[in-house]
Structure 1
Amino acid sequence: MKEVLALIEKKKQEFAQTPFRAFLQDKSIDPRQRLAWAPSFAPFAMSFKDFNHLVLHKEPATNKLQEMINQHAYEDGHHWVWFLQDLKLMGYDYSINFIDTLKFLWGKETQKVRSMAYNLFGMCAFEDDILMKLTIIESIEATGNVALFEIAQVAKELQQITKQHHPYFGQSHYAKETGHIQAEVEDVSSFLESIELTEAQREKAFTLVERVFADFTESMNEMLAFAQKHPYDQTFITKAVSPLSQRTLSAVGG
């Protein structure tokens, strides 16, 4: 796995250069607006619960790796509760009719976010090689480590406005994201590096890493576009895109 982990680290550094990250860091923008993409992330945040409980978690665990994945899936599979708490704290818990809700969650503006979730299900649901699932988990954790750090910085600013701790977007969630699978192993990095892969496994793992990072990058671009077009206090109203925002969107292919 050493070569695979090296690729993940390389892709992680590239992922850290996305326009979405720059947007989160821009303190000239109200922190509430920098998190205005939150509702558009709902299809993934809620699907991730099922991904962990229905796809990754397997009982009984027949080997150490599955035990590790089960521990990780149990922890990661409960973060959706924090997400809902934060949406409420941020003022998004208001009523819209059911048809409009469905149109929003399965609409064009959340298409990449949904595809990211679907692709993770597709890559893992019928995968017999547990090392490939481990590769996907490591890739997901790497993206989370980058994105949630920046999001937590914005949440610190938001807390000054709301006077509330935000469990999903704040520091407590980021603290759970070590960049590796969350399992009861003394030295996770060393353990993972010690795993030997065949050439065929290595090539497949490389492909999966590229796919996961591509999906997350496309989703972050979509979320950036959403935040630039929707005022945080009027989520379902699209505003005109400023020339600066338009240039940013053009740069990411929006």
Structure 2
Amino acid sequence: MKSILALAAARKERLAAHPFFAWMRDAEVPLGIKLDIAPIMANFVMNFRDMNLWFIRFEGAANAFEQVINGNTDEDETHSRLFIEDWRKLQLDEKLGWRASDALWWLFLAPETEPFRAYAFDFARMTVVDRGDPLLRFAHSEAGEACGNAFFSAVSPLAVELRRRTDVDYRYFGDYHLQREQGHVIASEGVFDRQQLDPQRREKGLVLANAMFDIFFGMHDCFNAYARNYVGRGVAPQRTRRPLPPMRPRPDAGPPQAQAIVGRHAEVQRVLESRKAGTARHPFYAWLQASGPLSPLRRLQRFIPMWVMDIMGYRDLNRYALRFKSPQQLDERAFNRWVQALETHSELFLNDWDALGMDAALGWRSSDTLEFLFLDSGTDLHRCNIAKFTKLALAHESTVLRFWLLEALEASGEAFFANTRELALAVERDTGQRLDYLADRHYLAHADGEIDPGRSYPFKSEPLSAEQARVAVAMVHTVFDAVDAQLSLSLDVAAQDRLGIDRTDPGSPSRAAVTSPA
């Protein structure tokens, strides 16, 4: 383990010499704007809570090593709340002028934050590669702690000086946080540092630690670019609005071509059809279609914020977890063609958000949006489920298993779109606005215009072992259990108007908390 610690010390020293810190130390840059780099950190900081909750932490720690790792995650998962606290103290809501839609664009579609979306999956992949070995998990966790200490050792003195001048305590950027970022996994001394690693584990630990440092070097490149291109110039990033895709009729899919379902695939298909039928009967859909005083617009507005993480995050699940990085075989290329089409849907959803008037209906500022998406007890359910899907995708590189995971994910949405389509069409007739995502016109975003590119490959005729069939069935249940729970939450949120859609005065902040139903 000493070789891992030596590597961490050496690479931490190199990170401390990054050009970003030269900008932070530059006396020509006013102290009062240096912490305004927070927006470029938002993806990483807010997702870091989830990494600790659902990836790094061991479920039911079995030994002292796992207990130490878990104790460190208990501390680290609290930091995102401090970040939002400082965001507000820095008056970034006012400086950025962002509404909820701008924050969604920044988090999920902006070019500047694209590297961070990839890094989130790189983090997750490490906890799959280490196979739950606490000594290997320590190797990359220790590297991450060293990186955090390098950052806060440089930034904390600036926050402390700013506090002296303004009497405002910045707990995330200041010494409060630095005291909790000592550069090592908490309470690890004497537990991990004395461990002997065999050559194979040592090599794997070094690879994981180096990969963690590579991520942080990349992030600091992004920090530096944002500091110089935006903060230093006194400008805020602005959402790029692309025109709506040209409207065209739904492509003719031709005569139905039932794919041959052979061997054990038939067993998985039966489970899929059974779960799909059960989900289609969920009472949430009855609420959506019920007659009554609520307009179609209000029915959509009341629940759609709950699905932001699923819909916007689905792009990244496809791009960074499901897609094959270097497809070699025909089945891998066909699968990639499918997921590449699915990546395009999130921009349609953001257009729908605008058409539904969600910014005015919610009245959220940028910090309210961050708080809802990443810290609300209701959205915890959605993000936890995304973590489950991510683990399944990263853990199984077999094309046929990734196919069944994606097949289940897509099938779980069929009833959703069948029900939102009717409401969306009614809103379009009433308002003249287009709702391409909720009206299920996803093909408009596909480069080739097809409804389901890549679905023609006969995945269900590929060999499927008994163990793979077992895994595929478990995947189907995981997906539909998740969706059923999310629909129950949506019913509670929508029926009770827990987001305050009918009570919010447009333009005023609303921070309605959503609590998962018992």
- TM-score interval (norm. to shorter): 0.7 to 0.9
Higher relative contact order (CA 8 A, sep 6+): 1
Q: What's 2:192 paired with? A: 192
Q: Which amino acid aligns with 1:66?
A: E
Q: Distance in 2 between matches of 1:126 and 1:229?
A: 36
Q: Distance in 2 between matches of 1:131 and 1:182?
A: 14
For residues 75-109 of structure 1, give each alpha carbon's deviation from its aligned partner in whole angstroms, at most 9, with x where no partner exists. 11111110000000001134523332222112111
5+ long unaligned stretches in structure 1? 239-254
Q: What's 2:227 paired with? A: 227
Q: What's 1:81 paired with? A: 81
Q: What's 2:39 paired with? A: 39
SS at match of 1:58: coil
Aligned-pair CA distance for 1:170: 0.4
SS at match of 1:192: coil
Q: What's 1:178 paired with? A: 182
The alignment's TM-score, normalised by the length of structure 2, stands at 0.43
Q: Which amino acid aligns with 2:89?
A: L
For residues 109-135 of structure 1, give each alpha carbon's deviation from its aligned partner in whole angstroms, at most 9, with x where no partner exists. 122233332211111146322211111
Alignment of 1:91-130 (within 5 A): 91-94=91-94, 96-106=98-108, 107-125=110-128, 127-128=130-131, 129-130=133-134
Which of the residues 148, 154, 175 maps onto 2:152? 148
Q: What's 1:212 paired with? A: 212
Say if 1:191 and 1:159 are closer, same or farther in 2 by CA, change over 3 A.
Answer: same
For residues 199-247 of structure 1, give each alpha carbon's deviation from its aligned partner in whole angstroms, at most 9, with x where no partner exists. 1111111111111111101111111111111137643269xxxxxxxxx
For residues 134-193 of structure 1, give each alpha carbon's deviation from its aligned partner in whole angstroms, at most 9, with x where no partner exists. 11110001011111011101112322443200010001100111111113xxxx434322
Given that residues 139 and 208 in structure 2 are in contact (C-alpha distance below 8 angstroms), is that contact kept between their aligned partners in structure 1? yes
Number of aligned residues: 234
Q: What's 2:167 paired with? A: 163
Given that residues 86 and 169 in structure 1 are in contact (C-alpha distance below 8 angstroms), is that contact kept between their aligned partners in structure 2? yes
Larger displacement relative to structure 2 (124-133 or 72-81): 124-133
Q: What's 2:141 paired with? A: 137
The RMSD of aligned alpha carbons is 1.9
Q: Distance in 1 between matches of 2:164 and 2:118?
A: 34
Given that residues 2 and 192 in structure 1 are in contact (C-alpha distance below 8 angstroms), is that contact kept between their aligned partners in structure 2? no
Q: What's 1:250 paired with? A: none
Residue 62 in 1 paired to residue 62 in 2?
A: yes
Q: What's 1:23 paired with? A: 23
Given that residues 116 and 216 in structure 1 are in contact (C-alpha distance below 8 angstroms), is that contact kept between their aligned partners in structure 2? no
Q: Distance in 2 between matches of 1:38 and 1:80?
A: 12
SS at match of 1:65: helix
Given that residues 112 and 215 in structure 1 are in contact (C-alpha distance below 8 angstroms), is that contact kept between their aligned partners in structure 2? no
Q: What's 1:241 paired with? A: none
Q: Distance in 1 between matches of 2:124 and 2:192?
A: 23
Given that residues 127 and 137 in structure 2 are in contact (C-alpha distance below 8 angstroms), is that contact kept between their aligned partners in structure 1? yes
5+ long unaligned stretches in structure 2? 240-518
Q: Distance in 2 between matches of 1:116 and 1:168?
A: 21
Say if 1:191 and 1:65 are closer, same or farther in 2 by CA, change over 3 A.
Answer: closer
Q: What's 1:242 paired with? A: none
The alignment's TM-score, normalised by the length of structure 1, stands at 0.86
Q: Distance in 1 between matches of 2:107 and 2:149?
A: 25
